[in-house]
Amino acid sequence: MKGDDRSARCGRIKSQWKSVQEMNYLDSITLTKTLPCLAEPGRIIVIGKPSQPLTDIIPYLATLPDVIVYNPITCTVTFRRQHGFMTLYTDKVYITKVKDVEEGLELFKALVDAVNATWAHRAELVAVTAARSAPRLLDIWALLPQTNCKQCGESTCMAFAAALLQQKRSLTECLALSADPSFGERRATLEAML
Ligand code: SF4
Q: Which amino acid is at 165?
A: L
| Residue 138 in this model has a pLDDT that exceeds 70 | yes
Q: What is the pLDDT of residue 20?
A: 47
State whether the beta carbon of 157 lies less than 6 angstroms from ligand 1: yes
Out of 150, 151, 168, 182, give the residue to mutate to test ligand 1, the one with the largest number of ligand atoms within 8 Å of its CB. 151
In this structure, are residues 83 and 44 in contact, taking their beta carbons and an 8 Å threshold?
no
DSSP for 54-98 reads -TTTHHHHTTSTTEEEEETTTTEEEEE-SSSEEEE-SS-EEEEEE
Out of 147, 150, 155, give the residue to mutate to test ligand 1, the one with the largest number of ligand atoms within 8 Å of its CB. 147
**pLDDT tens figures, 173-191:** 999 888 887 788 888 888 8
Say whether 152 sits in a helix, a strand or coil: coil
Determine the average pLDDT of the residues in 143-160.
93
Could you give phi then psi for residue 97, rounded to 5 degrees?
Answer: 55, 50
**pLDDT tens figures, 89-106:** 999 999 988 999 999 999
Ligand 1 centroid–CA 194 distance in Å is 17
Residue 17 binned pLDDT confidence (cut-offs 50, 70, 90): very low
State whether the beta carbon of 147 lies less than 6 angstroms from ligand 1: yes
| Residue 139 in this model has a pLDDT that exceeds 90 | no
Average confidence score pLDDT of the chain: 85
Q: Where are the beta strands (DSSP E) in the chain?
A: 29-36, 44-50, 67-71, 76-80, 85-88, 93-98, 132-133
| Residue 25 in this model has a pLDDT that exceeds 90 | yes
Residue 153 binned pLDDT confidence (cut-offs 50, 70, 90): very high
More confident residue, 9 or 77: 77
**Burial label, 52 (beta-carbon count in 10 A; 0-12, 13-18, 19+):** middle
Cβ neighbours of 166 (radius 10 Å): 9
**Burial label, 21 (beta-carbon count in 10 A; 0-12, 13-18, 19+):** exposed
Domains of the chain in start order, with CATH, are: 29-132 (3.30.310), 135-193 (1.10.15.40)
Ligand 1 centroid–CA 160 distance in Å is 7
Candidates 174, 158, 140, 185; CA nearest to 35 is 185
Closest residue by Cα to atom 4, ligand 1, is 149
Question: Could you give the percent of the chain with pLDDT greater than 70?
Answer: 87
